[in-house]
Structure 1
């Protein structure tokens, strides 16, 4: 880790934790929140958050096929209209510089979410993007998550061996 942001700026971490607590109290379904967290983390290339949120989603009973295909949600029949709207909104806000939160994506969200839900969903996207930037920018170690263990390099190639799961 480049900087232990939890130790060096606990007030910032506490603010994000408080935002997460507010999201847990929001009217949004926990499964939908996890899909949004997974999709933003995929876009941002955050291995730590991907490992965490796919684990959390599976723990809530999410089907593995949906997790495997969330990056291609437009191409599958596995997601509801509400989830599709949330994923499109997530993608737009995560790639704000290129996507710019288009009216079509907002209209899709507005058709299936209340104003309160839209605000909560937008805060959920803000939160996961914040966590992704901390983890990627400051180097969170995915191998430290839940006993995954380190990934050892294979001596005969540049490819890594699969991690040893300690559970």
Structure 2
């Protein structure tokens, strides 16, 4: 395998722009647990091993139970997720799979009802941002550290 580009080396301004959005997201009022579930779910859909590793580690650090993390890929069938988490995961699925059918009116309306405009916008931005990172990490074959 050949080495691929490193955004920090080839286009530091692009990395700075992405990090600017990350700084915004870090300051939002969307609960950290929801942010990490969004990142993990989108990364699973996009098959981004690098981001799955990073965000499952972070989820464990902030106290999301392992059992719940194991169930993220099958969240629709799992009883471990509450109504808000289910809605945010549906939002994540539909935005990540935007080419399938877009964001449905029913998911949008349910998200708006449960989250309100401010947190819905924040959740949408979180989904958009992790999808951008997933695409970059997959395209450049970024690798996480191997477990000991």
Instruction: Give the TM bin, normalised by the shorter chain.
Output: over 0.9
Residues 92-131 of structure 1: CA distance to partner in whole angstroms, max 9, x if unpaired?
Answer: 0000000311111111201201101111111000110000
**RCO higher in 1 or 2 (8 Å CA, sep ≥ 6)?**
2
* Secondary structure, counterpart of 2:76 in structure 1: helix
Alignment-derived partner of residue 4 in structure 2:
2
Contact 1:109-1:118 within 8 A present in 2 as well? yes
Alignment-derived partner of residue 114 in structure 1:
116
Which has the higher Rg, Structure 1 or Structure 2? Answer: 1
Structure 1: 5+ residue stretches without partners: 149-162
Taking structure 2 as the reference length, what is the TM-score of the superposition?
A: 0.95
Residues 49-87 of structure 1: CA distance to partner in whole angstroms, max 9, x if unpaired?
Answer: 000000000011110010000111111111111111110
Moved beyond 3 Å, runs of 4+: none
* Secondary structure, counterpart of 1:32 in structure 2: helix
Structure 2: 5+ residue stretches without partners: none
Which residue, 103, 106, 113 being the options, matches 2:105? 103
Alignment-derived partner of residue 25 in structure 1:
27
Alignment-derived partner of residue 86 in structure 1:
88
What RMSD, in angstroms, separates the aligned Cα atoms of the two structures?
1.0
Taking structure 1 as the reference length, what is the TM-score of the superposition?
A: 0.84
